[in-house]
Chain A
């Protein structure tokens, strides 16, 4: 089973992949509308928004958490963590 390189989500079903393309290493939530992978700023904003919207975290706390969580993921390991 694949794990999304950009957010860590397990990907099993075709619907978990962008456009159902199971050769991709990133999930449907980390893809742009054209199927390419989101950039670091896009993903950081998306993950922050997800934490705020679904769990009600404070925006600043969500942002800091997203920065730390993303720094451990293969797609962003080399990114600076002070974004």
Chain B
């Protein structure tokens, strides 16, 4: 029985897949937060992940902060960027068409990418692993401690967010804004502030993902686009707005990708996530965990 585990290739692929899947899940969470409050899809979500990693490097290498503080500062900085995005860009376009909104967030993502390129250049950067950087062998496959960090952090973030949105006052207020902004305003919920907070929170979550994955995969200025796209795939697959759905879908996506690379074709790996995304959009847009009725009520 132990033999099918020990040193098995599939286990190695699975571990890699679950690790990257956790990142997709975190990115998907970012989409979900903004979507839950505003029904907007933020195309710049991937860039927040990229900035999380690069700012982490900045605070750690250039400013010399200890690793933990550097990560926290990076998350805070990127969260601030999210706030700025909402306050000065999204808010202005709130009453524009959906098309304009899409273009606006795409434009902002391009700006972030361009800014990152100017600030950090085109080289990849690395953060040291959060704990002992050596990989250890388990059942014959190599496990990186950082992967465990990634999984742990993702689980914690998901748990915290679920609790926040379900039980806390602010969380429930945010959800109310998505359901019916007018009604929310009428009962005294500061809708604008909630929207602002949602962007900041979403950016922060993205940054956490970026900083967590940076020790394993390195980070450079143009990583954002593909990560964002796959994260969106996880979000749709899990049902837009469903946090647990995002977690499961992200991991499923990561596993599918990694197993495809292992057993089918490593070159087409990226296509896996995208094909799954398109299948989901075409045949089950409410996702695995969403409800059709609720999806139908959404603005678009």
- Report whether chain A binds chain B: no
- Give chain B's interface residues, CB within 8 Å of chain A: none
